[in-house]
Amino acid sequence: MRDWLMSESPESRVQAGAGRAWRALLMLLRNPLAVIGGLIVLLLIVTAVAAPLIAPESGVGQDLPNRLLPPSWDHWMGTDELGRDIFSRVVYGARITLLIVGLVAVISAPLGLIVGAVAGYFGGWTDKILMGFTDIFLSMPKLILALAFVAALGPGIENAIIAIAITAWPAYARIARAETLTFRNAEFVAATRLLGASHGRIILLHVLPLCTSSMIIRVTLDMAGIILTAAGLGFLGLGAQPPLPEWGAMISRGRVFILDQWWVATMPGLAIILVSLGFCFLGDGLRDVLDPKSAGKS
């Protein structure tokens, strides 16, 4: 298996791709921060998938006699104002966080990719108009824009996701355009065009795949920002609505108790920091591996 992966002369496209991925993984494993980041992200995914197995309680319902208990053996992170186990709620909250970052990435990355690739590929006026539009969005304050969108669409987790995605795509469009420009006049593109491929086919099958690695880096680095924005919207009561155990909303509930029952607001915040840091570390490591040009910088 190892030989097959490390082969210098791959026999099929699958083998070449797998080999490249394997080498990148080996490089990544040599970067301690990236490993830590990867483990944290893995932990988030496992927690989200296996939430019912990990969480001691369901995280919903009330248990008023046990309200606002400090952290103890029974309740690692204490209980909240309705007697719910905070640890269980943080565990279930992983699902919501993963859902938000996943959906934002799935919506905004392809949108940015297509806008950027089309602009870079066609050039001229198409480029000017699309990039002008992108730049306008880029020079807006993201959080404020997301707030205004949610205000208009109405609070709720779906609208929060849409609002964040709307503010996230322009950065990806810029990257995709820059990448596309570097190989727009490459011979393989010219050759494909000579074979009679349509513009759509060239962009989709030949241009976009080459933009993906820088896109993955950027999306990973952006994840922390997305999580913070989502949590911020939740904190303001505009994101996920109670009783959903969204971390930002949980901090907001604990705000009233911060002076006496500090754990109610503090614990979900630690989860946010851990996961955001994980994505930062992983993104930094991925950049060092996949994008050697800027390795070592920042």
Residue 111 as a binder of other proteins (CB under 8 A): the answer is no
Contact 81, 66 (CB under 8 A): no
Q: Nearest 5°: CA angle at 266, between 260 and 267?
A: 120
Burial of 132 (0-12, 13-18, 19+ CB in 10 A): exposed
Please state the separation of Cα 10 from the chain's center in Å: 33
Residue 68 as a binder of other proteins (CB under 8 A): the answer is no
Burial of 102 (0-12, 13-18, 19+ CB in 10 A): middle
- Please say which residue, 30 or 255, places its beta carbon nearer to other proteins: 255
Contact 44, 98 (CB under 8 A): yes
User: Of residues 29, 273, 292, 295, which one binds other proteins by CB under 8 A?
Assistant: 273
CB of 77 to other proteins, least distance (A): 15
- How many other CB atoms are found less than 10 A from the CB of residue 287? 24
Residue 228 as a binder of other proteins (CB under 8 A): the answer is yes
- Please say which residue, 112 or 225, places its beta carbon nearer to other proteins: 225
- Please say which residue, 204 or 221, places its beta carbon nearer to other proteins: 221
Residue 128 as a binder of other proteins (CB under 8 A): the answer is no
User: Of residues 20, 25, 74, 135, which one binds other proteins by CB under 8 A?
Assistant: 135
Task: Show contacts with other proteins in window 237-266 (CB under 8 A).
Answer: 237-238, 248, 251, 254-255, 258-259, 262, 265-266
CB of 186 to other proteins, least distance (A): 25
CA distances (Å), origin 42, targets 79, 98, 237, 273: 26, 11, 29, 15
CB of 48 to other proteins, least distance (A): 18
Residue 147 as a binder of other proteins (CB under 8 A): the answer is yes
The sign of the CA dihedral 161, 167, 168, 173 is positive
CB of 86 to other proteins, least distance (A): 14
Number of residues that bind other proteins (CB under 8 A): 49
The alpha-helical segments, DSSP class H, found in the chain are: 2-6, 13-29, 32-49, 51-54, 86-122, 124-138, 142-153, 157-183, 187-194, 199-201, 208-235, 247-254, 263-290
User: Of residues 38, 120, 232, 285, which one binds other proteins by CB under 8 A?
Assistant: 232
Q: Note the residues at the interface with other proteins (CB under 8 A).
A: 132-133, 135-137, 139-145, 147-149, 151-154, 224-225, 228, 231-232, 235-238, 248, 251, 254-255, 258-259, 262, 265-266, 269, 272-273, 276-277, 279-281, 284, 296-298
